[in-house]
Structure 1
Amino acid sequence: MELAKMYLAYKPLLISIAYRMLGSLSDAEDMVQDVFVAMERVQLGEVQHEKAYLVKMTTNRCLNLLSSSRKQREVYQGPWLPEPDIGEASESPEEQVVQEETVSYALLVVLQQLNPVERAVFLLREVLMYEYSEIADMVDKSEANCRKIYSRVKPKIQQEVGETSSSSIGIRDKVELVSSFLLASKTGDFGAFVHLLTDEAVLISDGGGKRRAAIFPITGKSRIQAFLEGIQGKNSFQGELRPTNINGEPGLLLVREDIPQLAICFRAALDHSAIQAIYFVVNPDKLKRASKA
């Protein structure tokens, strides 16, 4: 296959892998561009399995980047959250493929809690359904080791978000949730919204030291209500709070003077009966793409 056709055929898949690995769409896109630049120096006629070859290149480059950026995350100010994938449904066939391959924000958060090799093994097995022998070759581990890693990681993820292929919360519940938050942001009374949370719910805010955000997670319904009503009283929700699509699910985007200020995502409890976590992304570096949504 010619390189241009290969690019069109595999770019969406590779971006989806890199996004899951890195937690950043911007970095994922740059990574895939680098992969295809490197492919210009490869004798394509000698590549027998194009997809596997490209997936291995992308995975290895992600592992290398994560290893080099580990110290940056260790000194990151406050909690680190992934970059949300914000936007309306696209009419572009290529972007539609990316959206179909998207991962819920809740799962993306959990994936970032794994070490890079665990993340790679889980994604290659769970999402791409590679055989352990193929995964072992891609991550430079033994087949037995890859089996152990996967068997250890999958129960952890299921304990956090349940089955990775299922939606985190029903559409009707999502609409109610977004509507409740919108109303509360205008009135300042978050009582009805907080009623939709579990008793142990947590609110995590990521400002990266570039915008004001809670340095520590806020746990418990009463503390979350106090926090939300407190920042609402300081006009923190001033602007247009728009319902939007975030990682394939309804969320909210606050825009002020055409500049995205805050993305709000939700994670359901395992039984889907209530909300277990709220994610506030206010780091402007992670909202740059939202201005195009």
Structure 2
Amino acid sequence: MNGHATELATDAFVAHRNLLFTVAYEMLGSASDAEDVLQETWLRWVKVDLGQVHDRRAYLVRITTRQALNRLRTMRRRKEAYVGPWLPEPLLTAPGVDEDADLAESMSMALLLVLETLSPIERAVFVLREAFAIGYDDIAAAVDKSPAAVRQIAHRARRHVDARRPRAVVTSRQMRAVLAAFQHALETHDLEGLLTVLAPEVVVISDGGGVKQAAPRPITGAEKAARYIVGLGRNQPTLTVRPTTVNGRPGLVLRLDGELDGVLAVCVEGSHITGAYYVRNPEKLTRVGSEIPLTLR
């Protein structure tokens, strides 16, 4: 590739980089793996004859999808050996992201966990179709299936996800109000206060990756969950809690004695928290210091 062609390839890649990262992250739930996928995408992209490419955005998404599928299959083997529950790597996103309902929904921890129950092909098809509105023909080219097969996979994946995703839609303002009550109860070790904000069927998942202490399995039920959450700050160095935006939704960053301890994301239905996801694994907290730009377009 000559200098002019390399410049054109670079311009196209940079223009769509945030989109490609978002595609890879939604397929993988890991920012570090998504960055690796983008590196692999770039190495293949610079070898492409741009004169034969009619839609550079679609072609880049196709390469990214194929590389993410390869990475997703190897990640599944890693997760089988993972110590304790596995949660997606949390991303701190710009406050405005939570005003984009489609982006916030597609990036939420709750949905990413549902996507973990899909097969790699189902996940790729669902993400490309539902989050990015990619056409069936382009998805078919990306996953090496016929358009008819992609339509069937999309229908099956959508039905699977719809049966498991949160049913009640709440605004960011409602979520922040619920999270503020949760934060106050956490900071004051108020067990009764937590019980008023946690749904009876709440599920709490903590991810320490075998490096930090975490519950070995999901905690179900408000009473057990409240006692576990109160214990996070009790008999510990000074606990500080800062509101932030995690994966497009209101969340919290927790520090113990000034040191980063973890990131908490929640799922809110109505006026109660139905899911709380606490990531303590240091390997998944390397991007907490900066906001990640994301886009569906």
What is the distance in 2 between the residues matched to 1:234 and 1:156?
42
State the Cα RMSD in Å: 2.5
Pair 1:121 & 2:125 matched: yes
What is the distance in 1 between the residues matched to 2:288 and 2:276?
19
- Equivalent residues of 2:126, 2:157 under 8 A apart: yes
Letter in 2 for 1:59: T
Pair 1:180 & 2:191 matched: no
Say if 1:201 and 1:187 are closer, same or farther in 2 by CA, change over 3 A: same
What is the distance in 1 between the residues matched to 2:218 and 2:176?
25
Pair 1:39 & 2:40 matched: no
Letter in 2 for 1:139: V
- The answer for the alignment partner of 2:156 in structure 1 is 152
- The answer for the alignment partner of 1:109 in structure 2 is 113
Shift of 1:156: 2.2
CA deviations on 1:188-215 (whole Å, 9 max, x unpaired) are 1132232122211110111111100001
CA deviations on 1:40-74 (whole Å, 9 max, x unpaired) are 22222222221121111000001111112221111
Count residues with an aligned counterpart: 282
Shift of 1:36: 1.6
Letter in 1 for 2:275: A
What is the distance in 1 between the residues matched to 2:241 and 2:201?
26
Shift of 1:111: 1.5
Deviates more, 1:127-136 or 1:6-15: 127-136
Q: Secondary structure at the match of 1:198?
A: strand
What is the distance in 2 between the residues matched to 1:192 and 1:260?
25
After superposition, where does 1:1-293 map in structure 2 within 5 Å?
A: 2-89=8-95, 101=103, 103-162=107-166, 168-235=169-236, 238-256=238-256, 259-269=259-269, 272-292=270-290
- Equivalent residues of 2:37, 2:71 under 8 A apart: no
Letter in 1 for 2:151: R
TM-score by length of 2: 0.86
Shift of 1:273: 4.1
Letter in 2 for 1:199: P
Q: Secondary structure at the match of 1:20?
A: helix
Say if 1:148 and 1:287 are closer, same or farther in 2 by CA, change over 3 A: same
Letter in 1 for 2:114: V
Letter in 2 for 1:66: L
Q: Secondary structure at the match of 2:121?
A: helix
Q: Secondary structure at the match of 1:289?
A: coil
- Equivalent residues of 1:243, 1:251 under 8 A apart: yes
Letter in 2 for 1:284: P
Say if 1:99 and 1:197 are closer, same or farther in 2 by CA, change over 3 A: closer
What is the distance in 2 between the residues matched to 1:215 and 1:120?
29
**Structure 2: unaligned runs, 5 residues or longer:** 292-297
Shift of 1:234: 3.0
Which structure is higher in RCO with an 8 Å CA cutoff and minimum separation 6? 2
Q: Percent identity?
A: 37
What is the distance in 1 between the residues matched to 2:232 and 2:84?
18
What is the distance in 2 between the residues matched to 1:83 and 1:250?
16
Say if 1:129 and 1:231 are closer, same or farther in 2 by CA, change over 3 A: closer
Shift of 1:89: 4.0
TM-score by length of 1: 0.87
- Equivalent residues of 2:208, 2:280 under 8 A apart: yes
Shift of 1:257: 5.8
What is the distance in 2 between the residues matched to 1:150 and 1:3?
31
Say if 1:249 and 1:31 are closer, same or farther in 2 by CA, change over 3 A: same
Shift of 1:230: 2.9
CA deviations on 1:150-194 (whole Å, 9 max, x unpaired) are 11111222222258xxx9532332222222222222221132232
